Amino acid sequence: MTSAADTARAVRAGERRATDVLDEALAAIEARDAELHAFNLVTADAARAAAEAVDRAVAAGNDPGPLAGVPVALKDNLCTRGIPTTCSSRILDGWRPPYDATVVARLAAAGAVAVGKTNLDEFAMGSSTENSAFGPTRNPLDPTKVPGGSSGGSAAAVAAGYVPLSLGSDTGGSIRQPAALCGVVGVKPTYGRVSRLGLVAFASSLDQIGPFARTVEDAALLLEVISGHDPGDSTSIPESAPALRQHLADGVAGLRVGLVREFLGDGIAPDVRARVHQAAEALAAAGASVTEVSVPAAAYGLSAYYVIAPAEASSNLARYDGVRFGLRVDASTTPEMYELTRTQGFGDEVKRRIMLGTYALSAGYYDAYYGTAQRVRTLILRDFEAAYREVDLLLSPTSPTTAFAFGDKTADPMAMYMNDVCTIPSNLSGHPAVSVPFGVGDDGMPVGVQVLAPALDEVTMFRAAAVLEAAAPAAGPASGGGAG
């Protein structure tokens, strides 16, 4: 399949029409999405109008932008003006935002063609997309298996070949983990790198928007387009978008890479572990020096995260009350209206996290839970920074296992939360991380390896990602096999 970079080149050069590119994408979606349900909504008419505008610009000799004519899918927690944005929740069913998220506007300005809104775990809470109020998304490589979550729809849309690019959001691993399970590239940028304005908030100090792509170069291209300071987001860092692509081929010679001990514990499946070691060998073969390092506090990441994220979420989701927008279940008093609306409008996982968060913030428990968790967060940050004084990059699995079957982990919330053990700590620290497909597991399903970098150092991170992409094994068992 054609990469986004090549499509944009062809469209800008007048070799391909954006409307033709769009038609292919829509046909691919039409052919398979009844089965996969990657999309909540396909916006064919709006997409066509955008594609036609790109073609007109090219015909007029104007530059339509670096993503000219590239079809892109948007996670359905990104506000799109006049187009339903549901967060896969009943409570927002049918709500049309009166404005675009900043990233949506930047994509449009770059000539990209948004084709629809993708499915997610409700309000981005989950690791399998089974928590969607509108039904799950299926893994394109094996429809009996989950695509991961919460950005399952966006991962599947790229993995299924519908579109070369999609946007997701990552609060505890919600881009990287589905990227790993679906065999595509997924990036969580440095916190503050990409504006959160228009991203429906889950946990404000952890949420970041990032790209899914089939290639590292495409991911870099999309990240360049959406990055950069936004005065409308007070947590947006001052830096403008980094020039990622120009260093992609620089290689890793002389770089020091650390395998994170805390992310290679007993909970990691042997086939995944084997692939990570293979990846380490590939980096070493390319001239990096690979050692083992420790980020001790990272072992407590899950605990800290499942206090902090629900706490912020419990507050962020208080606005869903039936007063101004979205679902309202009528009642004879407003307090009752709140209760009925929220009880009927939210699914179980959302309710669980709201209650957990409310408890962690409540009088008498704040210090023990929220206060403690934010201090553990400081330790995690310090331990990462200490590790980055010894090495330039870190390496780990993205997900402890390959994609699991539907219903495998829904009985016990803790079992589901364990999926994010390797990804959560870098949300807490704000550091960037990428999942790169690297072979398959014993079940033939994709394995992703995670490269982590210091704050703001996406450039170095992408260099390693490019090396891993080039060295990635073809299909075949990891353990007991030898190279490839």
Partner 1 sequence: MSEVLPDGWEMVIGLEVHAELLTETKLFSGSPAHFGGEPNTNIDPVTLGLPGALPVLNRQAVELAIRAGLALNCTVQRSVFARKNYFYPDMPKGYQISQYELPINVDGWLELPDGRRVGIERAHLEEDTGKSTHMGSGGGRIHDAEYSLVDFNRAGVPLLEIVSRPDMGSSEDAKDYVAELRSILVAVGASDGKMEEGSLRVDANVSVRRVGDELGTRCEIKNVNSLRSLGRAIDYEAQRQVDLIEAGERVVQETRHWNDDTGRTQTLRSKEEATDYRYFPEPDLVEVDPGPTWIEAVRAALPPLPAARRHRLVDEAGASTRSAAVVVERGLDELVLAAVAAGAEGARAVTRAEHDLADDRARALDPAHFAKLIRMEGAGQLTATQAKAVLAEMVEDPSRSPADIAAAKGFEAMDHGELEQLVDGLIAAHPEDWTKYCAGEDKVAGFFTGQVMKATQGKADGKAVNALLRARRG
Partner 2 sequence: MPAMPERLTRDDVAQVARLARLRLDDTELDRFTAQLADILAHATDMAALDLAGVAPTAHPYPLGNVLRDDAVVAGLERDEVLAAAPVAESGQFRVPPVIGEAP
Active site residues: 75, 150, 174
Q: Does the footprint of partner 2 cover residue 70 (CB under 8 A)?
A: no
Per-residue exposure over 375-385, b if at least 16 CB sit within 10 Å of its own CB, e if not: ebbebbbebbe
State in angstroms the smallest separation of the CB of 45 from partner 1: 23
Q: Does the footprint of partner 1 cover residue 375 (CB under 8 A)?
A: no
**Binder of partner 2 out of 202, 338, 404, 462 (CB under 8 A):** 338
Q: Does the footprint of partner 2 cover residue 367 (CB under 8 A)?
A: yes
Contacts of partner 1 in 285-324 (CB under 8 A): 311-312, 314-315, 317-319, 321, 323-324
Give which of partner 2, partner 1, none residue 312 binds (C-beta under 5 to 8 Å, depending on kind): partner 1
Of 32 and 342, which has the nearer Cβ to partner 2?
Answer: 342
**Binder of partner 2 out of 297, 436, 459, 464 (CB under 8 A):** 297
Between the CA of residue 390 and those of 301, 329, 386, what are the distances in Å?
21, 56, 7
**Binder of partner 2 out of 58, 356, 453, 468 (CB under 8 A):** 356
Question: Smallest Cα–Cα separation from 458: which of 432, 423, 420, 424?
Answer: 432
**Binder of partner 2 out of 3, 19, 358, 410 (CB under 8 A):** 358
Q: Does the footprint of partner 1 cover residue 372 (CB under 8 A)?
A: no
Between the CA of residue 210 and those of 196, 268, 471, what are the distances in Å?
11, 25, 24
Contacts of partner 1 in 100-159 (CB under 8 A): 101
**Binder of partner 2 out of 53, 241, 331, 386 (CB under 8 A):** 331
Residues 299-328 as x/- pattern, contact with partner 2 by CB under 8 A: -x-xxx-xx------x---x--xxxxxxxx
State in angstroms the smallest separation of the CB of 338 from partner 1: 6
The Cα–Cα gap between 48 and 54 comes to: 10
Give which of partner 2, partner 1, none residue 85 binds (C-beta under 5 to 8 Å, depending on kind): partner 1
Give which of partner 1, partner 2, none residue 79 binds (C-beta under 5 to 8 Å, depending on kind): partner 1
Q: Does the footprint of partner 2 cover residue 352 (CB under 8 A)?
A: yes
Question: Smallest Cα–Cα separation from 104: which of 226, 257, 245, 256?
Answer: 226
Q: What are phi and psi of 236, to 5 degrees?
A: -75, 130
Which strand ranges, in their side-by-side order, compose the sheet holding 393-397?
39-42, 113-118, 71-75, 165-170, 208-213, 185-188, 433-440, 446-452, 393-397, 256-260, 289-293
Tokens (6 digits) for 9 = 């080149």
Q: Which stretch binds partner 1 (CB under 8 A): 59-67, 95-103, 271-279, 470-478?
A: 95-103
State in angstroms the smallest separation of the CB of 232 from partner 1: 6
Tokens (6 digits) for 434 = 């990428």
Give which of partner 2, partner 1, none residue 92 binds (C-beta under 5 to 8 Å, depending on kind): partner 1
Q: Does the footprint of partner 1 cover residue 383 (CB under 8 A)?
A: no
Per-residue exposure over 105-116, b if at least 16 CB sit within 10 Å of its own CB, e if not: bbbbebbbbbbb
Q: Which stretch binds partner 2 (CB under 8 A): 270-278, 281-289, 335-343, 385-393?
A: 335-343
Of 97 and 400, which has the nearer Cβ to partner 1?
Answer: 97
Q: Does the footprint of partner 1 cover residue 254 (CB under 8 A)?
A: no
Give which of partner 1, partner 2, none residue 327 binds (C-beta under 5 to 8 Å, depending on kind): partner 2
Pairing, β 165-170 against β 208-213: antiparallel
| Residue recorded with tokens 């089965």 | 35
Residues 412-431 as x/- pattern, contact with partner 2 by CB under 8 A: xxx--x----------xxxx
Between the CA of residue 334 and those of 92, 194, 368, 372, what are the distances in Å?
19, 38, 33, 35
Of 254 and 335, which has the nearer Cβ to partner 2?
Answer: 335
CA torsion angle 181 149 384 394 (round to 10): 20
| Residue recorded with tokens 């390959």 | 402
State in angstroms the smallest separation of the CB of 129 from partner 1: 20
Q: Does the footprint of partner 1 cover residue 238 (CB under 8 A)?
A: no
**Binder of partner 2 out of 161, 277, 289, 365 (CB under 8 A):** 365
**Binder of partner 1 out of 11, 29, 74, 79 (CB under 8 A):** 79
Within 10 angstroms of residue 211's Cβ, the number of other Cβ atoms is: 32
Of 315 and 410, which has the nearer Cβ to partner 1?
Answer: 315
The contact set with partner 1 (CB under 8 A) reads 78-79, 85, 87, 92, 95, 97-99, 101, 196-201, 203-205, 231-235, 311-312, 314-315, 317-319, 321, 323-325, 334-335, 338, 358, 361-363, 366, 370
